[in-house]
Structure 1
Amino acid sequence: MAHIQAKLIAQDSSYQIGGKAFDLPGEVTTVELSNLVNKFLKEKHEDKAGEETDFKASEFDFLIDGEFLRTALNQYVEAKGLSTESVIPIEYLLKQEGPEPEDQFSEDDWISGVHCSEEFALVGSYDCGVTIRKLDDHDTRVQGFGHTEPVKSVSWISRKEDTFYAVSTSQDQSAIIWQWEKDNETMKPLFCCRGHSKSVDCVAVHPGKAEFVTGSWDASIKLWSASPTPQDDSNEPEDYQKARNKKKRQRIEQRGITRVPKITMAGHTEAVSDVVWLNDSELCSVSWDHTIRIWDINEAKEKTNLRGAKVFLACDYSQQNSLLATGNSDRHIRIWDPRNKSDIDSASLVKRNLSSHVGWVTCVKWSPVDSNQLLSGSLDCAVKLWDIRSPKTPLFDLEAHQDKVMCLDWSNRNVIMSGGADKFLYKFRYRSK
């Protein structure tokens, strides 16, 4: 395969070079293609300026049929079985700059949960505590203690002016709803949500309602009210005003008034490892029983059951592309389309299989603004930033942790955070496009 006919195309008008066809050597790489594009951009720049002026070359990535070119062109063409009889269109785009390490925070034990807002990071730890840190102030730290065993997950619920509400789950079989006044140095437990019989490992707050769901090692999923005020449906039997016993009052002050679940959904046969909302009424859960299940919350019943080959450890759903990402015990990240309910074969619902980790994938998070990008964290101590158009090679390896990665967050478009068993929370600045 000596030469290949190809046309170089850019969507961004500022980088277009006319869409002409080239007779390229088969061994050409992305570096050489970048040099070729820059050669024509320089000529275009000089023609426009009317004289030779300073030109700054750019690095480009190249896509063929929606997948990044990561080998020599002839190797890609042979691997994909593309015809060399016709001109191959190659799209090029400006190469993304990598995340920049910005800060690190130390906790007293393993960091198991993190969720960022615009200003603050909510952090859960194996020291049984929940911490709030200001993103731009290393020394600002607010703590809340109410759990009696390690915290497994955390999430912000809502904010009303300078009052924040959050939820944490724990191995002590409970979830706690917290209230934090911005000027206070401590968090106040409002409600202790009890109903699970084993460790509560995951939580997902409803995007539009005052509700959240939890998943547990008892294989069940429970829906709870996230309202900061006591409910009228007998969900708060230990009302503080009725608790005349001193020990009971102290327990309520430490952990909050007891709240019971609104509904319970059963179907999984092993631990529920992660949950995520798909829309206002549909919830997705993944489990150690090798299944992905989609639930109708309004009817409190299972709608879809997809079986995988290995244990599912994490999941996240992208509102940008309507795809589900899962982290698995076979070291792979799989991208699913849960909308295709008519397909009986679960394997055919997998749209991409991302492989680079050498340990179990413990957490996955989609970009909040880019439909192609997501993060993964693993027991191999690595955090990787992927573009699903490059399934074999991550865009960037975020090297920081010295022990297993346990949690990730990408809620703030420009901030990536990861926590792990090395007791460090790392912050990266990323200039999302």
Structure 2
Amino acid sequence: MPVSQIPNNMADHIQAKLVTQDEKYKIADTMFELPGEVTVTELTNLVNKVLKEGVKDAIDDENEYQNMEFDFLVNGEFLRIPLNQYIENKGISTEKVVEIEYILKQESPKPEDQFTQDDWISSVQSTKEFILTGSYDCTVSIWNMDSSKPCIYGFGHTEPVKAVSWVNRVNNDKTAYLISSSQDQSAILWQWEKGEETIKPLFCCRGHSKSVDCVSVHPEMEAFATGSWDSSIKLWSTSPVPQDDSNEPEDFRKARNKKKRQRIEQRGVTRVPKSTLAGHREAVSSLVWLSSSDLCSVSWDHTINVWDINEGKEKLNLRGAKVFLACDYSFHSNLLATGSSDRHIRIWDPRGKDEIFSKGSLIKCNLTSHTGWITCVKWSPSNQYQLVSGSLDYTVKLWDIRSPQTPLFDVNAHQDKVMCLDWSNDDIIFSGGADKNLYKFRYNSVS
């Protein structure tokens, strides 16, 4: 059995096997006798030493092996302390060989661009080409990826815009549709012909009696949901044509005076909701679809609800200790992330039965580092382990759920509250806040 070259002044050793799924950095299937206090840095040196010895006969002076930085996982969790401490904390037997997986260490997100708006940036969602934002200046804006000012403005709301979402992504379509919601108690369905300098309001969705703070578009884009401070959730059609049962065209026909016609042209014809989901007792703060039939909502009433929209009723309910402010769902891992006023991010598996869910056994882990309320969370679109969070503490943190005690990176760019995040593109993260700035970060999210 080979003995590692790591200096050791301890009597205790741990037998370990180093494995990786990355063929480029795979080493021979060999066990190592490691000193108990071995650290991540020392393990990295060991892997590099073995890799270098393995390729020394195949390289020349101009192509010497370059040392790499690695992270190490034991039982699916990142190693952040000496190995013997971790093994003791987790109750792992040292009588068996400990398998240690190593992966390439990721580089921190790199700031790439800064966009500035006239007021707080409350919501953001991007495509490959464009960025959609909502602001407290009451506008909906579309930006090119490299533009310093919005290229398109939407004027229709009379109070701050709280949420925005693309209905269809404009990458391959000439016509795009998008949703915005506002403190003016409405949501607007907009149409944008790619290449034109304005967006057209098609329908003003009315039915809520208080601020509409969140929007989520159905996975098949046939409907969207809104959540409001009136504690209700409403479902709306995304169809660009009037619905037969809502008498939408009558608004315009009845608008005999010029001012009313202008108002309809600015905000769109009134559309009524398809249905209402009632059950929360306080403001609905965030929505996300779990499937084509299941919608998840979180609320200031300390609850998470999962709704069956076909039945129009609640399927699951969880009561927490504090206000829930944000949620997002990963279709890669089937896990739900929530952010709360207690400064914790919690990772849930919402697929269990109600009685199991209510006991809290479906909490997979807590991510703890923020010092302010968690305002937004977004999963990576391609990496099942990673997500990003924003907080009233002015910071953005990037997490890997295999390292729940410590974020991978702190991203300190904002000078005020972080209000929104987007991670729609694999390698780009956006954050917007009360400092009126939208930041773009480049990040390589390797699995």
Q: CA deviation at 1:139?
A: 4.2
Contact 1:327 1:362 in 2 (8 A): yes
Counterpart code for 2:381: P
What do residues 47-96 of structure 1 show as CA deviations (whole Å, max 9, x unaligned)?
34488951111110000000000111122111111112221110001111
Counterpart code for 1:161: D
90-99 vs 357-366, greater mean Cα deviation: 90-99
Q: CA deviation at 1:210?
A: 2.0
Contact 1:363 1:377 in 2 (8 A): yes
Contact 1:119 1:136 in 2 (8 A): no
Secondary structure of 1:176's aligned partner: strand
User: Which position in structure 1 is the counterpart of 2:7?
Assistant: none
Secondary structure of 2:424's aligned partner: coil
Counterpart code for 1:386: W
Contact 1:180 1:187 in 2 (8 A): yes
- CA separation of 1:130 and 1:317: change in aligned 2, threshold 3 A: same
- The separation in 1 between residues aligned to 2:78 and 2:419, in whole angstroms, is 29
Contact 1:273 1:287 in 2 (8 A): yes
Secondary structure of 2:137's aligned partner: coil
For 1:7-406, list aligned pairs within 5 A: 7-49=17-59, 54-158=64-168, 159=170, 161-236=173-248, 238-341=250-353, 343-406=356-419
Secondary structure of 1:75's aligned partner: helix
Counterpart code for 2:380: S
User: Which position in structure 2 is the counterpart of 1:5?
Assistant: 15
Structure 2 gap ranges (5+):
1-10
Q: CA deviation at 1:344?
A: 4.8
- The separation in 2 between residues aligned to 1:330 and 1:399, in whole angstroms, is 21
- The separation in 1 between residues aligned to 2:352 and 2:241, in whole angstroms, is 40
Q: CA deviation at 1:284?
A: 0.3
Contact 2:116 2:148 in 1 (8 A): no
State how many pairs are aligned: 433
RMSD of Structure 2 on Structure 1 (CA): 1.6
Counterpart code for 2:282: E
Secondary structure of 1:299's aligned partner: coil
- The separation in 2 between residues aligned to 1:167 and 1:376, in whole angstroms, is 23
Structure 1 gap ranges (5+):
none
- The separation in 1 between residues aligned to 2:177 and 2:257, in whole angstroms, is 28
Counterpart code for 2:400: D
- The separation in 1 between residues aligned to 2:173 and 2:408, in whole angstroms, is 38
- CA separation of 1:99 and 1:52: change in aligned 2, threshold 3 A: closer
Q: CA deviation at 1:238?
A: 4.2
- The separation in 2 between residues aligned to 1:133 and 1:50, in whole angstroms, is 49
- CA separation of 1:38 and 1:226: change in aligned 2, threshold 3 A: same
- The separation in 2 between residues aligned to 1:178 and 1:90, in whole angstroms, is 52
What do residues 238-291 of structure 1 show as CA deviations (whole Å, max 9, x unaligned)?
432442222210110111111110000100011100000001111000001111
156-165 vs 380-389, greater mean Cα deviation: 156-165
User: What TM-score does the superposition give when structure 1 sets the normalisation length?
Assistant: 0.97
Q: CA deviation at 1:11?
A: 1.4
User: What TM-score does the superposition give when structure 2 sets the normalisation length?
Assistant: 0.94
Secondary structure of 2:108's aligned partner: coil
Q: CA deviation at 1:41?
A: 0.2
Q: Does 1:419 align with 2:429?
A: no
